[in-house]
A and B are shown apart, each in its own frame.
Chain A
């Protein structure tokens, strides 16, 4: 599996997974997404890391659950129906993360465009679809930014 940096694909056709959060949709590079899972048993324990809401156990592995909604949507808190299981590079090694999403996801092909300077740094590019512009999320940057916040 090629796990190159999501920005490296700007300007050429790539595959993306579109995921809904509330009324909006966002995208992750498809090579980062391994599966969409049904709601699983979220297990929690005390911690101080922002965005993490607990862990899932899937096939014997402990997978941290990272809720992007507070960053991507602000105060809105949509009901989450599935977990998008994605890989991200943390502290120099690859780790699987579960992202709660609020509906079915879609695999599409498209060309990522540069995002403008007004968008947050975790937006690595934009996808122009028929009736919407979708932000492509750089998971590492988003998590790193929140860690420093």
Chain B
């Protein structure tokens, strides 16, 4: 079947996935660019000490207000269990009040269609990754944005914020 140039363009764009490449502890990851709302510096982050009480939530290091919503910043190094990371940027996710602390944003790029994680991997990584991107024989794990914090974990954090002194208004905004 012969495709017109326009159809070919459509087909190519349907196959490729636009991603943002980022680094955590010298490891390169990718995230679907459509899942990221904003990339910003670390200004305005408030330490979230109360999350330390929940072992599952110690990776949530900061909170911040954005567009009248309370966001929770997850340390990607702690999430993935890598060596200590030195975050310089946060990626604000589009579909949840979650942001991800990363060491470095590399650039935007395109990856061919994702491949599934090999079945031999059966640990937490099955949730962490949406798939594997491959370019010039380089393997790049593409993160699953919903794995950084589950809906239940976000609710716990919002509840935590509502009882933390001085945060009543913020939590109200977050749950609004």
Contact = CB atoms under 8 A, between A and B. Distances in A.
Contacts of B125: 45-49
A47 B134 contact: no
Interface string B41-80: 0000000000000000000000000000000000000001
B10 interface: no
B118 A93 contact: no
Contacts of B138: 43
Given A57-B134, A62-B115, A62-B134, A49 B139 contact: no
Of A41, A55, A64, which is in contact with the most chain B CB atoms at under 10 Å from its CB?
A55
B120 A64 contact: yes
A36 B118 CA distance: 20
B81 interface: yes
Nearest to A48: B123
Q: Which of A45, A62, A90 has the most CB of B within 10 A?
A: A45
Nearest to A92: B119
B32 to A, nearest CB: 17
B118 A64 contact: yes
B146 to A, nearest CB: 17
A143 B118 CA distance: 14
B7 interface: no
Interface in A107-143: 143
Nearest to A96: B118
A144 B141 CA distance: 24
A90 B126 CA distance: 14
B119 A95 contact: yes
A60 B115 CA distance: 11
